[in-house]
Amino acid sequence: DVPLPILAMTLYGRVFEKDPPRLGQGDHTLQ
Amino acid sequence: LDTFVAAVYEHAVILPNTTKTPVSQEDALMLMNKNLDVLEKAIKLAAEKGAQIIVTPEDGIYGWHFTRETIYPYLEDIPDPQVNWIPCTEPDRFGYSPVQKRLSCLARENSIYVVANIGDKKECDVNDFNCPSDGRYQYNTAVVFDSKGKLVARYHKYNLFASEVQFNFPKDSTYATFDTPFGKFGIFTCFDIFSYDPAVILVDKFQVDSIVFPTAWMNTLPLLSAVPFHSSWAKAMKVNLLSANTHNTRMQMTGSGIYAPEAVKVYYYDMETESGQLLLSELKSRPRTSSNYPAAVDWSAYAKNVKSFTSDQANFPGNIYFDEFIFTELSKDTGNYTVCQKDLCCHLSYKMSEKRSDEVYALGVFDGLHTVQGEYYQQICTLLKCQTADLKTCGEPIGSAFTKFEEFSLSGTFHTSYVFPQIVLSGTQLATEQHFEVLSDGRLQSRS
């Protein structure tokens, strides 16, 4: 139980039913 | 077999020269053979150390920075595994296939399953409405050869990343699995790990025990660094994950590991050198039947039933990887905070060893569709160190931290059962199961 030097602690949730059919087919791309 | 020894190899890929015109097939093979020379040493060493399967990275044989035309000399026609083919003993059966032959022979001669990533080409014609104008489909492809050298699995990457213009999206999703004496395996590649189809389906519907995962993953702190994210996926999905990343520090690519549902077995993260690394670990063949298999978690059970913490301090906006979060600062050495966006509220209780004046931490929340380099819906609760003491930097990447947390509890009112818990420590190291636990009511908390 050594105290932790935390950079980030995360609960990362994915709501699949709100996704488009395929992840890579979004209209937006990184400029 | 109840257990098996797995290996992954983080490979510092030898890249081709960037060119706008395609090289000859001979030059392409020469480059690929240089990478295969390195992989051969790793495969032999892994086999000598008792490994029964080895995973090598995505793009690990031909590299990257291709156009549709310039990758063509690197491609081979990869048949359906149902043809029952050992390329090592029948190298000419399906035309030009020197890379498949070499991989098959490496598997056969070392009696080890070999997982690799190569490119598949499939000719098509005008009767096919979707056929590209150059008359062929090109697929980012994972292949598996069993310990006799037989091609036992072929997987066309379903969710291509935005920059993979050299490849086609497969028309339909395919599910690549293969059975071994040490459990049932599934395959997907890199960006697929964000997906329901095929990643979650392989686990929930096909009930695989282990996933082999070739990847070329660019780390993006604070949320999407390879080792923390991939290990959290294995923990949440309750399968073994054998993750082999490429190694290229200029591209922020490092972070491979062998992850079991109950524990991180071994991982590698190295931004200091340009070396590859072989990792080995023993795993349970069928983790679902294990006595210490993690219990099911209701991720919102605690958060939905607890009263929100009130605070008179103002929240503020911040950006993480193009997503606009709402943050609140952790202003004291001990405290309780709630921060909400749309349908998601995140609750945090914590105790620091001391509140340092030179480091600022914030609790952030995001509930929305990510729209850059792919679209996917996220609900995120995160406690993070801001890059500087200026609150405008909260969410920007930072590599070191000195503030220590003695106690913490983080939870959220998630509207999904797919929640991936991760803790990243100073130096981008991983907090392990010794440090934290996930309770069945959805709290991520420190072990006392």
ipTM associated with this complex: 0.95
Write down the catalytic residue from B190, B345, B381, B386: B190
What are B285-304's pLDDT values in tens digits? 999 888 778 889 999 999 99
- Percent of chain B topping pLDDT 70: 100
Q: What is the pLDDT of residue A25?
A: 60
Q: How close is the nearest chain A Cα to the Cα of B445, in Å? A: 10
Candidate from B196, B431, B446 with C-beta closest to A19:
B196
Concerning whether B394 is annotated as a catalytic residue, the answer is: no
Concerning whether B332 is annotated as a catalytic residue, the answer is: no
Give B37-45 contacts, CB < 8 A, sequence gap 24+.
Answer: B38/B11, B38/B12, B38/B14, B38/B276, B39/B9, B39/B11, B39/B106, B39/B116, B40/B106, B42/B7, B42/B9, B42/B11, B42/B276, B42/B278, B43/B9, B43/B106, B43/B107, B43/B110, B43/B112, B43/B114, B44/B106, B44/B110, B45/B278
**How does residue B230 score in pLDDT terms, banded at 50, 70 and 90?**
very high
Residues B230-245 have a mean pLDDT of 97
Please list the alpha-helical segments (H only) found in B211-279. Answer: 226-237
Concerning whether B157 is annotated as a catalytic residue, the answer is: yes
Please check the confidence at residue B433 and state whether its pLDDT lies above 90.
Answer: no
Please check the confidence at residue A2 and state whether its pLDDT lies above 80.
Answer: no
Q: Residues of B numbered 398-417 whose beta carbons fall under 8 angstroms of chain A's beta carbons: which are they? A: 398-406, 408, 410-412, 414-416
Please check the confidence at residue A15 and state whether its pLDDT lies above 90.
Answer: yes
Please check the confidence at residue A1 and state whether its pLDDT lies above 60.
Answer: no
Mean pLDDT rounded to a whole number for chain B: 96
Q: What is the pLDDT of residue A30?
A: 36
For residue B404, what is the nearest residue in chain A, using CA coordinates?
A5
Q: What is the pLDDT of residue A31?
A: 30
What are B188-219's pLDDT values in tens digits? 999 999 999 999 999 999 999 999 999 999 99
Please check the confidence at residue A28 and state whether its pLDDT lies above 50.
Answer: no
**Is there a contact between A12 and B435 if contact means CB atoms under 8 Å apart?**
no
Residues A18-27 have a mean pLDDT of 74
Please check the confidence at residue B426 and state whether its pLDDT lies above 90.
Answer: yes
- Percent of chain B topping pLDDT 90: 92
For residue A31, what is the nearest residue in chain B, using CA coordinates?
B372
Task: Give the CA count within 13 Å in the CB-facing half-sphere of B164.
Answer: 25
Q: How close is the nearest chain B Cα to the Cα of A21, in Å? A: 9
Q: What is the pLDDT of residue B434?
A: 87
Please check the confidence at residue B241 and state whether its pLDDT lies above 90.
Answer: yes
Q: How close is the nearest chain B Cα to the Cα of A29, in Å? A: 5
Residues B68-77 have a mean pLDDT of 98
**Is there a contact between B405 and A4 if contact means CB atoms under 8 Å apart?**
yes
Q: What is the pLDDT of residue B172?
A: 84
**Is there a contact between B369 and A13 if contact means CB atoms under 8 Å apart?**
no
Q: Residues of B numbered 354-393 whose beta carbons fall under 8 angstroms of chain A's beta carbons: which are they? A: 361, 369, 371-385
Residues B98-108 have a mean pLDDT of 98
**How does residue B108 score in pLDDT terms, banded at 50, 70 and 90?**
very high
Give B76-82 contacts, CB < 8 A, sequence gap 24+.
Answer: B76/B100, B76/B118, B76/B119, B76/B120, B76/B121, B77/B120, B77/B121, B77/B122, B78/B118, B78/B120, B78/B141, B78/B143, B78/B151, B78/B154, B79/B151, B79/B154, B80/B154, B81/B150, B81/B151, B81/B152, B81/B153, B81/B154, B81/B178
